[in-house]
């Protein structure tokens, strides 16, 4: 696990909480069957594709670029 993914995951967690969503609810909005992918992303334990990043951004009603570091 790299520091980048750990910090990114904390940011994702904050955005999800700000939107009032549980991990399960966010996973459902991303067409995932369970919350484990969201959980691993927030913990910085998984690499993910750009397409999955796009799904998360859409579910959070933000632009994909807003999930990327400056």
Tens digit of each residue's pLDDT (9 = 90 or more) over 21-70: 999 999 999 998 889 999 999 998 887 888 889 999 999 999 999 888 77
- pTM (whole model) above 0.95: no
What domains does the chain contain, in order, with CATH numbers? 3-67 (1.10.260.40)
C-alpha separations of 29 from 2, 26, 52, 64, 69 in Å: 27, 5, 12, 15, 23
Residue 31: count of CB within 10 angstroms of its CB: 9
């Amino acid at each position: 696990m790299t520091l980048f993914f750990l910090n990114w995951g904390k940011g994702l967690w904050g955005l999800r909480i700000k939107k009032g969503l549980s991990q399960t609810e966010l996973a459902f909005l991303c067409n995932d069957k369970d919350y484990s992918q969201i959980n691993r992303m927030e913990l910085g334990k998984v690499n993910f594709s750009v397409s999955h990043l796009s799904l998360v951004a859409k579910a959070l009603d933000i632009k994909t670029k807003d999930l990327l570091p400056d």
